[in-house]
Amino acid sequence: MFVTKYESGMRMERTASVAAHDARFQQYQQERQAHWDNVARQMDGWSGWGGYYHRRLVEIYRLIIPPESRVIEIGCGKGDLLASLQPGRGVGVDFSVEMLTRARSKHPKLEFVAQDAHELTLRETFDFIILSDLLNDLWDVQTVLEQVRAHATPHTRLVINSYSRLWELPLALAQKLGLGKSNLYQNWLTVEDILNLLNLAGWESIQHWQEILYPLPTPGVNALANRYLVKVFPFRFFALTNFIVARLAPLTVPLPLTNEPRVSVIVPARNEAGNIAAILERVPEMGGGSEIVFVEGHSRDNTFETIQHAIAAHPERKCQLHRQSGAGKGDAVRLGFAEARGEVLMILDADLTVPPEDLPRFYDALVGRKGEFINGVRLVYPMEKQAMRFFNLLGNKFFSVAFSWLLGQSIKDTLCGTKVLWADYYRAIAANRNYFGDFDPFGDYDLLFGAAKLKLKIVDLPIRYRERTYGTTNIQRWRHGWLLLRMVWFAARRIKFV
């Protein structure tokens, strides 16, 4: 097996996400800066249900963080939580100028820095790093979790609290009634999402739990609900906020060092002529070098000829082109994998709804041994408006729950086209394919079921799903939805109940 030259846990991830140079990211951040500047002005003299909520947060954080600790809070707002902890060294970071103006005036003994959480440049470490009600508002959670590692030592504790997804509608109603601060659309991460992102970013969860069942100031009820009931079944499932404490992931015993592995990016392409040039330009070089393996599948447009011309126009890129003889994406992927020369195998859909610039994240997760099968997930971050139709989204969420239960590992998105694994493991999956048979026209379940049977560690990697810019989807939701239901029954018989 090939590994990179850096040891797992020691390599510092990219200092800034590709998203930081994306026009969508810039617009996203500008909208939020303006929003939180406006919230800061509105909060002058404001009172609402958030008063009790924030007082309770202070009580909880004081139980976790001793006075005189070195503390940094990312997304500190007006600095009230940070100040309440009486830190020996307290640094607050926020990108809202209006928030920081009020924080500096109110808490002059603390230091406040205007920076974006995605691009931190502070040069010191802390005992505690706080991300309070921040993750749901971020463009790229993984990048932020990677960034804060630079401010941690092996003894540092990362403390996160984040709204529960069950409270999405109640909080929206409270905002409309003027009882809470307004928010722009949110990520609404589950605890499982956050734990997975922590793992991908090089953190190890120590403990997670629920807090605050009843967020309104009501004497007697608050103590009963928020100190006792929220700690026990079944009330804890209805808590407003989830707390997570993590540390830097400990070093693992390094594998023997070899050269960086070569990467083969398999691109099944049917009626995708308008996207081919962008694929050649945007697929990055990774590891020991990237090759792009195009498999064209009976297109009605000139996709095959377009690929030929694009390869000729880019002699610097290592490319292959194959014409599919069979049918279906699964058949195309298997042909591409059979012809691939790399030690790392990736699938990239030619519709570019998953940006090629995200592929290094998958590479890092695989060679950094976060998992042995890296599965792209479109269902964590909010999607662009036309990226996925409503019933497709609903179906994906249903099947994610079903297959997570069936396979015994978190599989949040079964049909995201981007999947990455070692070539050695793929050959083992192929060798055991007769156990399941040729049952999958998509190719996704052939790989997922095979990985689950081999007991590979499957890791979800959230990406931002984009709208198509050329062509139309090849997915037929009702016919293919029926096929997916058959897959559930198939997996139940062949994996769960055996």
Find how far residue 211's CA is from the centre of its chain: 24
* 3-class state of residue 46 by DSSP: coil
**Nearest-angstrom CA–CA distance, 368 and 10:** 9
Residue with the bigger pLDDT between 15 and 317: it is 317
Query: What are 88-104's pLDDT values in tens digits?
Result: 999 999 999 999 999 99
* Of 45-54, 115-124, 279-288, the least confident: 45-54
Assess contact for 307 and 296: CB atoms under 8 A.
yes
Which pair of tokens denotes residue 53? 């909520």
**Nearest-angstrom CA–CA distance, 332 and 296:** 8
Which pair of tokens denotes residue 214? 């009843």
The helix or strand, by DSSP H or E, that contains position 111, with its residue range, turns out to be: strand 111-114
What are the start-end ranges of the H helices in 78-236?
A: 80-84, 97-106, 141-147, 168-176, 191-200, 221-223
Q: What is the mean pLDDT of the chain?
A: 83
What are the start-end ranges of the H helices in 43-152?
A: 50-64, 80-84, 97-106, 141-147
What mean pLDDT comes out for the span 35-41?
Answer: 90
Question: How confident is the model at residue 18, as a pLDDT?
Answer: 45
What letter would DSSP give residue 271?
A: S
Specify the pairing of strand 241-248 against strand 458-462. Answer: unpaired
Question: How confident is the model at residue 74, as a pLDDT?
Answer: 97
Phi then psi for residue 325, to 5 deg, are -95, -30
What mean pLDDT comes out for the span 117-123?
Answer: 92
What are the start-end ranges of the H helices in 410-476?
A: 423-431, 444-453
**Nearest-angstrom CA–CA distance, 114 and 92:** 9
Question: How confident is the model at residue 488, as a pLDDT?
Answer: 78
- Give the HSE-up count for residue 339: Cα atoms under 13 Å, Cβ half-sphere: 21
Assess contact for 157 and 85: CB atoms under 8 A.
no
- At residue 491's C-alpha, the angle toward residues 490 and 497, to 5°, is 105
Is the pLDDT reported for residue 12 higher than 90? no
Is the pLDDT reported for residue 14 higher than 50? no
Assess contact for 243 and 160: CB atoms under 8 A.
yes
Query: What are 422-442's pLDDT values in tens digits?
Result: 999 999 889 888 887 776 667
Specify the pairing of strand 203-211 against strand 318-323. Answer: unpaired
Residue with the bigger pLDDT between 374 and 456: it is 374
CATH class of 263-496: alpha beta
| 463 band by pLDDT with thresholds 50, 70 and 90 | confident
Cα distances (angstroms) measured from residue 125 to each of 50, 146, 264: 31, 14, 39
* Of 73-82, 136-145, 437-446, the least confident: 437-446
Query: What are 268-307's pLDDT values in tens digits?
Result: 999 999 999 999 999 999 999 999 999 998 999 999 999 9
Phi then psi for residue 241, to 5 deg, are -130, 150
Indicate the burial class of 468 (C-beta count within 10 angstroms; 0-12, 13-18, 19 or more).
Answer: middle
Question: How confident is the model at residue 369, as a pLDDT?
Answer: 82
What mean pLDDT comes out for the span 375-379?
Answer: 85
What letter would DSSP give residue 454?
A: T
Question: How confident is the model at residue 384, as a pLDDT?
Answer: 57
Q: What is the 3-state secondary structure (H, E, C) of 385-410?
A: CCCCCHHHHHHHHHHHHHHHHHHCCC
- For the chain, the structural domain boundaries read 18-248, 263-496
Contacts of residue 101, defined as CB under 8 A and 6 or more positions apart, other chains included, come to 40
Instruction: Please give the share of the chain, as a percent, with pLDDT higher than 90.
Output: 48
Query: What are 196-240's pLDDT values in tens digits?
Result: 999 999 998 888 888 988 888 888 888 898 888 888 888 888 899
* 3-class state of residue 207 by DSSP: strand
**Nearest-angstrom CA–CA distance, 337 and 360:** 19
Is the pLDDT reported for residue 410 higher than 70? yes
* Of 8-12, 77-81, 413-417, 418-422, the least confident: 8-12
What mean pLDDT comes out for the span 35-49?
Answer: 76
Query: What are 319-375's pLDDT values in tens digits?
Result: 999 999 988 888 999 999 999 999 999 999 999 989 999 999 999 999 988 888 999
CATH homologous superfamily of 18-248: Vaccinia Virus protein VP39 (3.40.50.150)
Is the pLDDT reported for residue 10 higher than 90? no
Ordered strands of the 157-163 beta sheet: 111-114, 89-94, 70-74, 128-132, 157-163, 241-248, 203-211
- At residue 353's C-alpha, the angle toward residues 326 and 446, to 5°, is 40
Strands (E), 126-257: 128-132, 157-163, 203-211, 241-248
Residue with the bigger pLDDT between 20 and 328: it is 328
